[in-house]
Structure 1
Amino acid sequence: MDDYDIAEHPDLRDPDWQRHAVKEAWVDLRRQRRRARMGKRLAWTGVALVVVAGAVFGLVQWGRSTSAHYDGSAPPPAEMRPTAPSVLPDIARVNLERPFDGTPAETWGESVDGLLAPPPGPVGGFSAGEVAAAVGQVREVIRAGRLDRRTIEGRDGSLLLNLLAPNARREFAKAINDRTEDFRSVVSFAEDGYRLLPAGPRITGTITAAPGDEANRLALHADYSVAYAFDPGSYAPIMSPADIDVFIRYEVDFELVRGSSFQKNDRGLWVTTTRGIVYSMACEPAKRGYLAPAYSEPGPVTQDTSGFDEAAMYDVTKPMPEFTGGCE
């Protein structure tokens, strides 16, 4: 298994630098507090990539995170802290026109404008305006990869790819086109046959900026949660939002590269490492990197989730929840 750090890699010195080492682990984690029919939730977890949902699936993508640039000893300022979330209800009435009611996503934003960032100011050799523009670029990458229906339902990664540095674009294009493990670290693709309800995804989270290792590098860090509501069609009964709502939480490190000391195709925005978790989803699609609602895999299961902090799935002021397993 390979570890990498963008600062140590030959390219921003070598165009083939961006390689993610992926390790997969599958564990069956079953919930006991829901009725047997309701049981499946999947967990996909990792130092660079994670998922959690009903019967739990764990995919781990490892990489040494550039978030070492960030001081994690102090929580975000109070104004950046979202309202403390609850957990998903075991049994609750579901309104398909308002599918996030009664869930942690009820008050989340409908666009990346809801991702909070500190007031603009200079960072390292970057002016306040340049930092604000870089934060805007990160917002656009998240929007294109996680919120746009053309990406999710059309499984089209081009919107995201066009926002990256040319050499980064090439590497992720291969991952997306070949459906290697890396593709799910930057885009959300729905499983064939499943579409979102008219209510679009909801998102909450933060973006911060810090000096990079060199004057012409700006490190950015995004921590966000997204909720997706899938159309159940004629399926019944839907007994809880957890049957149709899928949640992801990701921490992503970016680096903006500029200046004549770098090759032209290296200049721009790079995704350096990711760490994520998905909750309340179907296992088999998740093993292939796709999102599908938990109701699509009904069955009598029980789960023991002792030690797993579900609330931390939705609350970006909490550390990423630890998870040891996934779907068998």
Structure 2
Amino acid sequence: MADRPSEERSSGSGGEPSIPDDVWDKFLKETEAELAAAPKEPSARARMVTERLRQQDARGESPESWRAPARPERRRRIWPVLGVLLAAAVAVVAVKPSVIPGDPLGTKDHAAPSVSPLPAETVAPTAPPSPADSETPSFARPFAGSPAERWADGAAGIVLPKATPVGTLSKAQVEQALQQTRTLLVDGNLDPATLRGERPAAALGVIEPQQTELLTRLNTALAKPDEKHDPLSLFSRFDPAQIKLVGDVIKTRGRITFKAGEQSSVAVHADYTFVYPVARTDGSKEVTRTIVRRVLDIQMSDPARYKVTPGKITIRRYDRDVGNSACDVYDGYLHPGFASDTATGAPPTGPTTDPYDRSKGIDEGLTKGCGTVSRV
């Protein structure tokens, strides 16, 4: 701290005027503050230590305690970002769990594999369909292990050919004959009400009213079925008290063709196979399939030349072949067999056939007796 000038120096006559005490104290305080704020030059030892540490750090030899610590505020900012990314990843997995490699959630066990649908059938195949996978049908995959998995769904598989004029019948009349044939197939084999045993009114409504014998037989079969009056000859039905469909899809494959017929008519030929996945209504989870193939020959005559009902079709032939249904049961319902069923009665005496084989005619190789199917 600076010394104050002596009294003698400041008070003599002719000398410098004396400095008041309060002014001197203020000067000293301001001087001390400036000295404290002034930068201090490091000592020689401090400069030497700093230079040695700098050189070690350049060589990668600096001790960890000397290096500057990471800024904690930056590290804290990382966690909100990671939280957002983690939430987004969880959302993606919840919507599409298949993105996880290896399927740790086990979702693939219940998902149907991607299969390419077959093109529409336009001509008779030359061989039965190739064996499908060996999977067992289930509620999740009712067509697993069946070649029908690649077939069309329901009415979408009944594809009509392009109508053209035939004889004296116009294109519109031929188109009507094709549409009425389709109605007969759809209502008789795919309609949910028909399948649970109700009256197929739409199918019956397209039949020529003058076919009184056929209509009488069908009406009797629907009301009081027996061996001579079997509704299964033209319609597919299951007892709703015992059997239920699995899912809402019935697989369909076949074709419709037409040509000029006798008596100024168009002759329509239909050949279709329907595959029904079913289960018992008792709560069982076992699934099986019944396969029904139907062949129809339909005729529509020119009402201007013959005494027929305009817009109605005449059924000239109706055949069926059923795979996996009990034989010699005439209650008007299909009765599928399940793998868990206990064998009762006499063993089958007929041949073993492939119900999916559409390369042969429906009446080829038929013999008397109840046969078995090679696959369902």
Residue identity in the other structure for 2:136: R
Unpaired stretches in structure 2, ≥5 consecutive residues = 1-119, 372-376
- Residue 250 (structure 1) aligned with residue 298 (structure 2): no
Distance 1:126 1:143 in 2: 25
258 and 184 in structure 1: CA distance in 2 versus 1, 3 angstrom threshold: farther
Unpaired stretches in structure 1, ≥5 consecutive residues = 1-76
Could you say which residue in structure 1 is the equivalent of 2:262?
A: 213
Offset at residue 122 of structure 1 (A): 2.5
Distance 1:260 1:175 in 2: 34
Offset at residue 203 of structure 1 (A): 1.0
Distance 2:136 2:308 in 1: 54
Q: Indicate the structure with greater helix content.
A: 2
Could you say which residue in structure 2 is the equivalent of 1:101?
A: 144
Of 260, 264, 272, the match for 1:224? 272
8 Å CA contact 2:246–2:279 kept in 1: the answer is: yes
282 and 88 in structure 1: CA distance in 2 versus 1, 3 angstrom threshold: farther
8 Å CA contact 1:80–1:117 kept in 2: the answer is: no
Of 144, 167, 170, the match for 2:187? 144
Report how many aligned residue pairs link the two structures.
Answer: 242
Q: Deviations over 1:203-249 (max 9, x none)?
A: 1101111212111x2211111100111123456573xxxx6200011
Could you say which residue in structure 1 is the equivalent of 2:360?
A: 318
183 and 94 in structure 1: CA distance in 2 versus 1, 3 angstrom threshold: closer
Q: Deviations over 1:145-200 (max 9, x none)?
A: 00001011033222211222223374333443342435222211212522212233
Distance 1:237 1:112 in 2: 27
Distance 2:244 2:325 in 1: 14
Distance 1:204 1:230 in 2: 18
Offset at residue 323 of structure 1 (A): 3.0
Distance 1:255 1:187 in 2: 19
Distance 1:127 1:296 in 2: 52
Could you say which residue in structure 2 is the equivalent of 1:173?
A: 219
Q: Deviations over 1:27-80 (max 9, x none)?
A: xxxxxxxxxxxxxxxxxxxxxxxxxxxxxxxxxxxxxxxxxxxxxxxxxx9854
257 and 176 in structure 1: CA distance in 2 versus 1, 3 angstrom threshold: farther
Distance 2:235 2:349 in 1: 30
Of 335, 352, 364, the match for 1:292? 335
Distance 1:296 1:176 in 2: 30
- Residue 272 (structure 1) aligned with residue 320 (structure 2): no
| Coordinate RMSD, CA, aligned | 3.3
TM-score of the aligned structures, taking structure 1 as reference length:
0.63
Could you say which residue in structure 2 is the equivalent of 1:187?
A: 235
